[in-house]
């Protein structure tokens, strides 16, 4: 049971850690911004991460929208990029902080219901099968580090791993791609802060794939530099892959409250990506998803996100995901079935034609 420090309301759909209700965040953001910043700083101090993107006299990093400028020996907001010895940002593009594993197809990614691996869409150019690619697998590449600081992060443990992890080479991933690997997915954390590593890896792998089908996908919060977005769109387009945008919120105040950073670059990059859709409609090049965080990402917010998507293309697939209590939002309940149904209905009302409720096994009772 959380209590809002602004209006005094007390209920189980208010995070005890954030101490703010959705209504107050939207209504009084300017007066509450300092409280929000302190909350996020507390959450990051535990992991020795900068409370905000550094703006020091030093080397700039242009990988993402945070535009960190780091003095000698300091780290960027993501915890990955750093100024070593005052000469250059590290690690190099052929090195990254990541882990990887094989995921049998069809897998449970947010795009499996429309992608080549899950449905056979684009057969025979992009898929080995007319239906799901049973017998094949995805190389799932999990990047440590993130350009956001989501208080509900479902993969927050990477912050601990980042303290001791050593950089690894792109070649390691390329060598892991065998004859049964038909797709590679970069996710995390988020690939934005290591986007050049993912691009370098993809080019290395494609140079040796011969006639084999090998799709490349990115699952991201969309904060990378726009010129890098165009590079990954091109790779995904040519290989039959997709770029999956995780749209946390539409309202910037809510995005900052939940994730510490603005969603301005996310929305701008989505608009850019949407212009590529007509280049290949099957399988879809762009997929969107939103996590239904109880009390915060409600019907109204999903409608705004879906309307934004539909205004660009009503056929863009949109996945709604059930929330599991985790990290600093572990006191919130599971997404209820009614919450999920209301949000799906809102997305359809906003004009989208392809909406799916994912993670239905996580849905709980009505609040």
Predicted pLDDT at 361: 86
Q: Answer yes or no: is 276 within a domain.
A: yes
Q: Per-residue confidence at 64, pLDDT binned at 50, 70, 90?
A: very high
pLDDT for 51 beyond 80: yes
Q: Answer yes or no: is 70 within a domain.
A: no
| CA 339 distance to own-chain centroid | 22
Which run of H or of E encompasses 196?
A: helix 195-207
Q: Answer yes or no: is 34 within a domain.
A: no
- pLDDT averaged over the chain? 96
Say if CB 150 and CB 133 are below 8 A apart.
no
Say if CB 224 and CB 269 are below 8 A apart.
yes
pLDDT one-digit tens code per residue, 223-259: 999 999 999 999 999 999 999 999 999 999 999 999 9
Q: Answer yes or no: is 230 within a domain.
A: yes
Predicted pLDDT at 165: 82
Name beta bridge partners: 322.
Answer: 292
Count of domains in the chain? 1
Q: Answer yes or no: is 119 within a domain.
A: yes
Predicted pLDDT at 359: 87
Q: Report which of 209, 216, 183, 184 is spatially closest to residue 117, judged by C-alpha positions.
A: 183
First to last CA, the chain: 12
Predicted pLDDT at 108: 87
Over residues 100-111, mean pLDDT: 94
Q: Answer yes or no: is 304 within a domain.
A: yes
- pLDDT over 90 percentage in the chain: 90
Pairing mode, strands 215-220 and 181-188 = parallel
How far apart are the C-alpha atoms of 210 and 189, rounded to whole Å?
31
Q: Answer yes or no: is 283 within a domain.
A: yes
Range of 306's domain? 103-362
CATH number, domain of 255, equals: 3.20.20.70
90-114 as b/e: b if 16+ CB within 10 A: ebeeebbbbebeebebbbebbbbbb
């Amino acid at each position: 049971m959380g209590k809002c420090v602004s209006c005094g309301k007390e209920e189980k759909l208010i995070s005890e850690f954030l101490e703010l209700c959705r209504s107050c965040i939207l209504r009084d953001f300017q007066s509450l911004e300092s409280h929000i910043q302190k909350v996020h700083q507390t959450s990051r101090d535990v992991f020795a991460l900068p409370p905000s993107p550094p703006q020091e006299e030093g080397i700039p990093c242009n990988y993402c929208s945070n535009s960190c400028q780091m003095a000698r020996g300091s780290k960027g907001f993501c915890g990955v990029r750093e100024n070593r010895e005052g000469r250059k940002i590290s690690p190099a593009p052929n090195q990254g902080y990541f882990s990887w594993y094989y995921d049998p197809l069809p897998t449970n990614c947010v795009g499996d219901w429309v992608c080549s691996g899950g449905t056979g869409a684009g057969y025979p150019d992009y898929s080995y099968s007319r239906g799901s690619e049973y017998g094949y697998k995805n190389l799932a590449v999990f990047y440590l580090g993130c350009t956001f600081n989501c208080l509900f992060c479902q993969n927050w443990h990477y912050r601990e791993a980042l303290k001791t992890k050593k950089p690894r080479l792109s070649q390691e991933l390329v060598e892991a791609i065998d004859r049964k690997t038909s797709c590679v997915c970069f996710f995390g954390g988020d690939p934005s802060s290591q986007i050049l590593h993912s691009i370098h890896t993809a080019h290395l792998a494609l140079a040796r794939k011969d006639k084999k089908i090998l799709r490349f996908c990115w699952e991201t919060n969309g904060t990378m530099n726009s010129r890098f977005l165009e590079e990954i769109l091109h790779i995904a387009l040519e290989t039959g892959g997709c770029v999956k945008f995780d749209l946390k919120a539409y309202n910037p105040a809510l995005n900052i409250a939940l994730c510490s950073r603005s969603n301005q670059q996310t929305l701008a990059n989505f608009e850019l990506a949407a212009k590529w859709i007509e280049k290949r409609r099957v399988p879809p090049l762009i997929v969107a998803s939103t996590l239904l965080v109880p009390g915060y990402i409600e019907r109204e917010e999903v409608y705004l996100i879906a309307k934004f998507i539909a205004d660009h293309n009503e056929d863009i697939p949109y996945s709604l995901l059930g929330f599991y209590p985790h990290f600093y939002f572990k006191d919130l309940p599971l997404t209820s079935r009614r919450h999920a149904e209301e949000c799906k209905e809102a997305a359809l009302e906003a004009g989208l034609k392809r909406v799916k409720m994912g993670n239905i096994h996580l849905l709980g009772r009505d609040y």
